[in-house]
């Protein structure tokens, strides 16, 4: 038996990944940039075991159905193929983040799985190789290998598509992200299905591609200059453009709820009142607000008039993937 365990933190994209040019290899249409966060993470153990007759996947202690397990098996198959391994595996994962609610559980989940597999099989991967491996599970997962700001350079092949750290002189330690949870239920349309439908049918999609590389360059420049407003403005604009593409998909859809719009209006109001903060959203109705640490309590107070305390969760910049030593008693 080969066993390994890893912890990976979620990341939220400031410049979004939206669309694949190769679905099997998960090669993206555009490069993206994210901030890894400390508040939400996944811990995953994997054991490749000769006594198993199929892969089994437990998430938060519950055995997962065939569909969920098939996704994991597809990823394990890639590793088994590369390593010429025939053993089935037990995957036991704990999400310290709501699953499939637009809070990036797929990023932390698949990064942790890639890390655990690499540990179990003693693959001795570099961070770049681990990022490429995680990418094959879920695109955004390739950024969760790294702490702080990460850029996923789109590349044009399995070899050239991976994430790396963006040098920032630790500026991310001055920043925070406030999550406004308006709904933590499972969404109707996964990111995977949403981006596929958009690429294939949305007449707005070419407009997304026209702007995104410029947005990325602006964001990187803002990080170099430690210019919070520049980073916030481009983050907000880029997120809105991504969500704009879904409205022209066939059939059209949106991840926004009335409550999401309410939060966006409140963020604009906060800005008007002199509190610099900017929103972004992913494939779900929850809103994330980028704010400087020094203004976090003022923002919480401002939003506290509209939301319960448990709906407001603050996160700071988080670390890269961590391998966790396995205790013998934890093994299968």
The angle at the Cα of 244, spanning 217 to 277, to the nearest 5 degrees, equals: 60
Complex with ligand ADP: residue 47 or 168, whichever CB lies closer: 47
Site for ligand DP6 in 61-120 (CB under 6 A): 106
Q: Strand 88-96 relative to strand 56-59: parallel, antiparallel, unpaired?
A: parallel
Contact between 311 and 132 (Cβ < 8 Å): no
Site for ligand DP6 in 27-56 (CB under 6 A): 32
Contact between 178 and 299 (Cβ < 8 Å): yes
Complex with ligand ADP: residue 6 or 296, whichever CB lies closer: 6
- Nearest alpha-carbon partner for 62 in 105, 102, 91, 96: 91
Complex with ligand ADP: residue 69 or 238, whichever CB lies closer: 69
* Position among 118, 138, 144, 218 found at the interface with ligand DP6 (CB under 6 A): 138
The verdict on 17 binding ligand DP6 (CB under 6 A) reads yes
Residue 71 touches which of ligand ADP, ligand DP6, none (CB < 5 to 8 A by kind)? Answer: ligand ADP
The verdict on 246 binding ligand DP6 (CB under 6 A) reads no
DSSP 8-state code for residue 301: H
CA distance 194 to 208: 14
Complex with ligand DP6: residue 28 or 232, whichever CB lies closer: 28
Contact between 38 and 315 (Cβ < 8 Å): yes
Complex with ligand ADP: residue 113 or 303, whichever CB lies closer: 113
The verdict on 191 binding ligand DP6 (CB under 6 A) reads yes
- For residue 101, the SS3 value is coil
Residue span binding ligand DP6 (CB under 6 A) among the ranges 86-94, 135-143, 214-222, 272-280: 135-143
Q: 265-288: b or e for each residue (b if 16 or more CB lie within 10 Å)?
A: ebbeebeeeebebbbbbbbbbbbb
Residue with tokens 């109707």: 188
Residue 13 touches which of ligand DP6, ligand ADP, none (CB < 5 to 8 A by kind)? Answer: ligand DP6
Minimum distance of ligand ADP from residue 103's CB (angstroms): 5
List contacts with ligand ADP (CB under 6 A). Answer: 42, 44, 59, 68, 71, 93, 95, 99-106, 109-110, 113, 190-191, 282-284
């Amino acid at each position: 038996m080969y066993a390994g365990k890893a912890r990976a933190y979620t990341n939220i994209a400031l410049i979004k990944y939206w669309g694949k040019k190769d679905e099997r290899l998960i090669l993206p249409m555009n490069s993206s940039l994210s901030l890894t966060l400390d508040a939400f993470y996944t811990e995953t153990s994997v054991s490749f075991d000769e006594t198993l007759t199929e892969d089994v996947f437990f998430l938060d202690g519950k055995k997962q159905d065939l569909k969920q397990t098939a996704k994991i098996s597809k990823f394990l198959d890639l590793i088994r193929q590369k390593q010429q391994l025939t053993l089935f595996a037990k995957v036991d994962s704990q999400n310290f983040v709501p699953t499939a609610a637009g809070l990036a559980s797929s990023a932390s989940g698949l990064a942790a799985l890639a890390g655990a597999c690499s540990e179990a099989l003693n693959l001795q991967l570099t961070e770049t190789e681990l990022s490429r491996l995680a990418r094959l599970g879920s695109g955004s997962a390739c950024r969760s290998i790294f702490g702080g700001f990460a850029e996923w350079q789109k590349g044009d092949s399995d070899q050239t598509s991976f994430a790396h750290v963006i040098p920032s002189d630790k500026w991310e330690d001055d920043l925070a992200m406030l999550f406004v949870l308006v709904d933590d239920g499972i969404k109707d349309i996964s990111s995977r299905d949403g981006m596929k439908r958009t690429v294939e049918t949305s007449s707005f999609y070419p407009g997304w591609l026209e702007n995104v590389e410029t947005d990325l360059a602006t964001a990187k420049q803002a990080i170099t200059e430690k210019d919070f407003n520049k980073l916030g403005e481009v983050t907000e604009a880029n997120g809105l453009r991504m969500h704009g593409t879904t409205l022209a998909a066939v059939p059209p859809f949106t991840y926004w709820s009335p409550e999401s719009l309410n939060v966006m209006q409140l963020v604009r109001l906060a800005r008007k009142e002199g509190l610099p903060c900017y929103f972004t959203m992913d494939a779900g109705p929850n809103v994330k607000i980028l704010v400087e640490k020094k203004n976090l309590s003022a923002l919480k107070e401002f939003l506290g008039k509209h939301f319960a305390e448990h709906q407001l969760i603050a996160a700071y910049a988080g670390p890269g993937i961590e391998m966790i030593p396995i205790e013998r008693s934890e093994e299968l």
